[in-house]
Amino acid sequence: MLSGRSNIVGALTLAVASLLMPLAASAADITVTLDQAKLVKLPERVSTIVIGNPLIADASVQAGGLMVVTGKGYGITNLIALDRTGSVLMEKMVEVEGPADVVVVYRGVDRETYSCTPNCERRITLGDNPAYFDVALGQTAARNGAAQGITQPVK
């Protein structure tokens, strides 16, 4: 009899925990994708924006009471908007998540990321193998330099 109650209590505990997990996962007020930006309306009189961890997100105040939040790294951080006197006007949690339109290829412990919309092309993403990351970054820098009329030696 005692064993039956233990099983029921255990099952109920597991059921309640599984119901609460999605609530904990959506704790962020602002969700932005890595390497993308999102516009957020600010309260009036904002003069300073503070980001808890600038390695995760960046923010800049724009004209018309808007703020641009850019995803820099995976994770959650906080954002605080202050007026000229230092009073808190807004406090939000910002979550940066990975892109949904990618294919990740693992070769042992090495990781490569491809953007597949519609054709698969290299995409440098945090967590990729350093050699893969450096080659893709070098090609991007050379291409951007060529577009600006700056020639760089190909390695």
Residue 124 domain flag: yes
Q: Per-residue confidence of the chain (155 residues) as pLDDT tens digits?
A: 455 555 554 544 544 455 444 444 457 899 999 989 999 999 999 999 999 999 999 999 999 999 999 999 999 999 999 999 999 999 999 999 988 888 999 999 999 999 888 888 888 888 899 998 898 888 888 888 888 887 655 55
Residue 118 domain flag: yes
- Domain region containing 126: 102-147
The pair phi, psi for residue 2, each rounded to 5°, is -65, -35
pLDDT of residue 153: 58
Residue 11 domain flag: no
How many residues are listed for the chain in this entry? 155
Under 8 Å between Cβ of 123 and 113:
yes
Under 8 Å between Cβ of 29 and 59:
no
pLDDT of residue 23: 44
In terms of phi and psi (left: phi > 0; alpha: psi -120 to 50; beta: otherwise), the region of 16 is alpha
Q: What CATH number does residue 70 fall under?
A: 2.60.40.1080
Residue 131 domain flag: yes
In eight-state DSSP terms, residue 119 is: S
